[in-house]
């Protein structure tokens, strides 16, 4: 999948996305925002905000920034923000693999149903770590490949078809986190059939000033 194809596929879904995926993924979204454990005044980034189905769960005392590559999805999201009067939410069209935010810009970062739908999950996870403050929380809400060898083989078999629909099924959590400075502090299965995982991580990177003066190492 390349960025242009991802944008095209998800823009085509935009007007029907809520009807198809809204109720199915509702439970996971609500749990994910709750596990961010947000304090008043914190700044949060939602990567792949889509049509904004998670936005209502955030406390009004926090600043929420949502990014997405799809113009169609963002158009639906802007309408939702306007209808609900979510003054604390700002939306930006942006590639999650090349974010335009400064380092350490957010207290928490969430990516719901994103990692298996982007062209390069490695770029995305590293960007999420970069823009999240040291000690900040990062939540991944996604389907990750199953450890069961039979199910894993099926997931790998159908992955080429799913890629045509805009996502892949053969990506494991271990692969996503490999080589990063993220520590998993909570993991649970969510949504119908429990095929999706909510993974809460602590960003263990060193503060920028320590890396800059030679007292630490950057990844």
3-205 is classed CATH 3.40.50.150: yes
- For residue 196, what are the β-bridge partners? 190
Cβ atoms < 10 Å from Cβ of 63: 15
pLDDT tens digits for range 2-12: 666 666 666 66
Looking at per-residue confidence, does 196 or 34 come out higher? Answer: 34
Strand partners, 89: 64
Work out the pLDDT band at 201, boundaries 50, 70, 90: very high
Beta bridge partners of 186: 200
Per-residue model confidence (pLDDT) at position 21: 67
Give the per-residue pLDDT at 215: 47
Closest among 185, 210, 219 to 199, alpha carbons compared: 185
Strand pairing class (196-203; 182-190): antiparallel
CA distance linking residue 203 with residue 194, whole number of Å:
26
Q: Which of 35-39, 88-92, 166-170 is predicted least confidently?
A: 166-170
Residue 166's pLDDT band, with cuts at 50, 70 and 90, is very low
Quick one: average pLDDT of 25-30?
Answer: 86
- Domain-by-domain residue ranges, the chain? 3-205
- Confidence check: pLDDT of 172 > 80: yes
Q: What is the mean pLDDT of residues 161-188?
A: 78
List, in sequence order, every beta strand (DSSP E) within 40-146: 43-47, 63-68, 89-93, 106-112, 132-142
Q: Name the β-bridge partners of 187.
A: 199
Phi, psi dihedrals of residue 26, rounded to the nearest 5°? -60, -50
Q: What mean pLDDT value characterizes the chain? A: 83
Give residue-wise pLDDT tens across range 72-112: 989 999 999 999 999 999 999 999 999 999 999 999 999 99
């Amino acid at each position: 999948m390349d960025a242009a194809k991802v944008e095209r596929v998800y823009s085509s879904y935009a007007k029907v996305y809520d009807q198809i995926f809204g109720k199915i993924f509702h439970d996971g979204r609500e749990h994910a925002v709750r596990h961010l454990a947000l304090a008043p005044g914190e700044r949060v980034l939602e990567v792949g905000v889509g049509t904004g189905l998670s936005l209502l769960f955030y406390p009004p005392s926090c600043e929420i920034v949502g990014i997405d590559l799809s113009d169609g999805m963002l158009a639906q999201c802007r309408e939702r923000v306007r209808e609900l009067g979510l003054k604390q939410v700002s939306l930006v069209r942006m590639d999650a693999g090349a974010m335009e935010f400064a380092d350490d810009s957010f207290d928490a970062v969430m990516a719901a149903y994103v990692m298996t739908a982007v062209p390069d999950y490695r770029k995305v996870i590293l960007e999420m770590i970069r823009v999240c403050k040291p000690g900040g929380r990062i939540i991944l809400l996604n389907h990750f490949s199953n450890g069961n060898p039979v199910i894993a083989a099926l997931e790998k078999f159908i992955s080429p078809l799913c890629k045509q629909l805009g996502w892949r099924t053969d990506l494991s959590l271990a692969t996503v986190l490999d080589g990063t400075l993220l520590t998993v502090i909570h993991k649970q299965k969510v949504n119908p059939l429990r095929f999706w995982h909510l993974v809460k991580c602590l960003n263990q990177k060193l503060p920028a000033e320590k890396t800059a003066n030679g007292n630490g190492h950057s990844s």
